[in-house]
Amino acid sequence: MKKFKQINRQRINRAFRVSNAVKRYSSRPRLCVFRSNANVYAQIIDDELEKTLVSASTRDKEIRTDISNGGNCVAAEKIGESIAKKALAAGIKQVAFDRHGFKYHGRIKALADAARRAGLDIGAAGDAKAAKEGAGKNEKAQSGGSKKPKATKEDKNAAKATAGKNTAKKK
């Protein structure tokens, strides 16, 4: 039992890191996903308004009639299609995918792929790190960069000469 508590604590910490990264680097509403052994839940949250815009789960009556088991990839695909249709009907076309600490495979991947196929723009599969790094580089380029350019040896020698210091090396 101790091992399971440790694993769950690690997942919760990972979820915190992932959610904060999504909130920090994206101005889009986030598609937050949670999975349990029996069900899959998804909701689109606007962090600026602190409000849930759209939600879907395997416990919804209209989805529950279509599936026999709520904890498998088929059910996750249904949730992905459902959340995408609801989002598009609400006028939401782009979202940031918050996997909430779960690995991107199995039910989580099935949900994301189904949402993409239904027309929701989540970003390219597996490009979250590249998008995050690209956004950071673009922000630095737009703001002029936060680091000073490196001074070359010639620049250093010229600065010493103007300050009246001897630039010749001692032997």
Q: What is the CATH number of the domain that holds 109?
A: 3.30.420.100
Q: In the structure, what pLDDT confidence band is assigned to residue 89 with cuts at 50, 70 and 90?
A: very high
Residue 90 confidence (pLDDT) above 90? yes
Q: Which residues constitute the domain of residue 66?
A: 2-142
pLDDT at residue 153, rounded to an integer: 67
**Is 164 within the bounds of a domain?**
no
Under DSSP, is residue 33 helix (H, G, I), strand (E, B) or coil?
A: strand
Residue 115 confidence (pLDDT) above 70? yes
Residue 79 confidence (pLDDT) above 80? yes
**Is 137 within the bounds of a domain?**
yes
- In angstroms, the CA 74 to CA 66 distance is 10
- Residues 23/47, Cβ–Cβ less than 8 Å: yes
Residue 53 confidence (pLDDT) above 50? yes
pLDDT higher at 81 or 151: 81
pLDDT at residue 156, rounded to an integer: 66
Question: In the sheet that 40-46 helps form, which strands lie side by side, from edge to edge?
Answer: 51-57, 40-46, 30-35, 96-98
**Is 13 within the bounds of a domain?**
yes
- In angstroms, the CA 84 to CA 77 distance is 11
**Helix pair angle (107-117, 73-89), 10° resolution:** 40
**Is 159 within the bounds of a domain?**
no
Residue 111 confidence (pLDDT) above 90? yes
pLDDT at residue 18, rounded to an integer: 84
Q: Counting every residue, how long is the chain?
A: 171
**Is 30 within the bounds of a domain?**
yes
Q: In the structure, what pLDDT confidence band is assigned to residue 22 with cuts at 50, 70 and 90?
A: confident
**Is 148 within the bounds of a domain?**
no
- In angstroms, the CA 63 to CA 68 distance is 10
Convert the pLDDT of each residue in 28-45 to its tens digit: 999 999 999 999 999 999
How many domains are there within the chain? 1
